[in-house]
A and B are shown apart, each in its own frame.
Chain A
Amino acid sequence: MNSDELIATLSYDLRPVPRHALGRRLGLGAVLGGLVTLGLVADWLGIRPDIARAMHGATFWIKWAYTIGLAVCATAVTLRLARPDGTTGAWLRLMAVPVLGLAIVAVGELAMTPRGQWPALWLGHSWTICSRNVFVLSVPIFAGLLWSMRRLAPTRLALAGTTAGVAAGGWGATLYCLHCPETSALFVLTWYTLGMAGAALLGRLLGARLLRW
């Protein structure tokens, strides 16, 4: 086919593109994945029975501030990297804010806890499964983001895959908070972050392959 014929074919029956189509596409992928994850939390892990009481305490919100903060930053970067001429802007560096914030809380916690109880603070009751759970819960959301991104036009594939992985990890961890009764900041900083790092690695590995267009 010569290029003029191609242009005629492409222009035939042209459909309008709604404004914010890109954001909607990415949002749809994230929400669809998020619903699957929410189903997993409710069905497989179970919502913690004291959720209503927990939501009145500070710990729950500190955890959410951390996971939602990371998720929002990573989603914003991913949204920008979905454009061929997209740059990361300040969002990538802003991810340091929730990490540093939680680290400060963790240091305060350690200072107020007798040294003998530090291991309990760090390991909680569920350190052996926490990272794995966060990782597993991130997978549906990552799949949703990947589905969206494949229709968009990222040009820095490994980076876009990584930020999509962090976003999926952040949202997955946010939903995991509905199950996880752990209260220590040091615990969250270690094991949640490890799970999210796993999601980031998955995104990096798959991004370079699956985001090509």
Chain B
Amino acid sequence: MGLMRMRQGDDRLRALMLAGLAGDSVAHAALLRALLPPLRGFFRRRLGGRDDDVEDLVQETLIAVHQRRATYDPDRPLGAWVYAIARYKLIDRYRRSGRTTPLDDMAELADEFTFADASDARADVDRLLDTIPEKQASVLRATRIDGLSTAEAAQRLGIGESDVKVSAHRGLKALAARVKDGWR
């Protein structure tokens, strides 16, 4: 049975899906098993013989069907929904494999980039905070970066709450002025 034929309203699979959404794990497993043959056929036809890739994509699709099952609209055909997920996973695979870097390296590279971005931003903030009075900077670090409440910040810095508020206000104002002045 192909996905396309499945799209033409397979009431049995839809019933399994609805039972699964209600919490019936036996029905859910039965649905996922029933999706195996059409999904394998779908990806095999499009990937041409690379069986490891086929099974990879089948599993990715099953995981998505499971994790994102809340996005199924019970009033619509189940096949169209599964097909849309399978198609997205296929396109996503194409998109990723279009790069010259092997897939595994890509994930690591992406991690490196986000890490570099974050530490750059952190360094920028630190340099900017160095330009304002120390008390204002430490209040801003406590309240805006570490996310402490006014009371917690007051306790940590050993100053009054109103002092925290005033310093935060003045600090932000000073920072805004620095940025406006074309601080690099």
Q: Which residues of A contact B (CB under 8 A)?
A: 1, 3-4, 6-8, 10-17, 19, 21-22, 25, 82-85, 151-153, 155, 212-213
For A11, list chain B residues within 8 Å (CB): 25-26, 28-29, 32
- On chain B, which size bracket covers the interface? 35 or more
- In angstroms, Cα B33 to Cα A11, docked, is 11
A84 contacts B62, C-beta separation under 8 Å: no
- In angstroms, Cα B20 to Cα A73, docked, is 32
Known: A17-B69, A83-B71, A84-B85. A3 touches B64 (CB 8 A): no
Q: Which residues of B contact A (CB under 8 A)?
A: 20-26, 28-29, 32-33, 36, 55, 58-59, 62-64, 66, 68-74, 76, 80-81, 83-85, 87-88, 92
B23 contacts A16, C-beta separation under 8 Å: yes
Interface of B is mostly: helix
- In angstroms, Cα B25 to Cα A20, docked, is 20
For A85, list chain B residues within 8 Å (CB): 76, 80-81, 83-84
A155 contacts B87, C-beta separation under 8 Å: yes
Q: A24 — nearest CB in chain B belongs to which residue?
A: B70
Interface of A is mostly: loop
For B81, list chain A residues within 8 Å (CB): 83-85
A213 contacts B62, C-beta separation under 8 Å: no
- In angstroms, Cα B80 to Cα A12, docked, is 26
A7 contacts B33, C-beta separation under 8 Å: yes
Please pick, from B21, B26, B55, B74, the residue contacting A16 in the complex, using a CB distance under 8 A: B21
For A83, list chain B residues within 8 Å (CB): 71-73, 81, 84
- In angstroms, Cα B29 to Cα A14, docked, is 10
A25 contacts B70, C-beta separation under 8 Å: yes
Would you give the shortest CB distance from A174 to chain B, in whole angstroms?
26
Would you give the shortest CB distance from B79 to chain A, in whole angstroms?
10
Please pick, from B21, B59, B83, B88, the residue contacting A17 in the complex, using a CB distance under 8 A: B21
- In angstroms, Cα B85 to Cα A82, docked, is 12
For B70, list chain A residues within 8 Å (CB): 17, 21-22, 25, 151-152
Known: A3-B36, A7-B62, A213-B64. A14 touches B71 (CB 8 A): no
For B26, list chain A residues within 8 Å (CB): 11
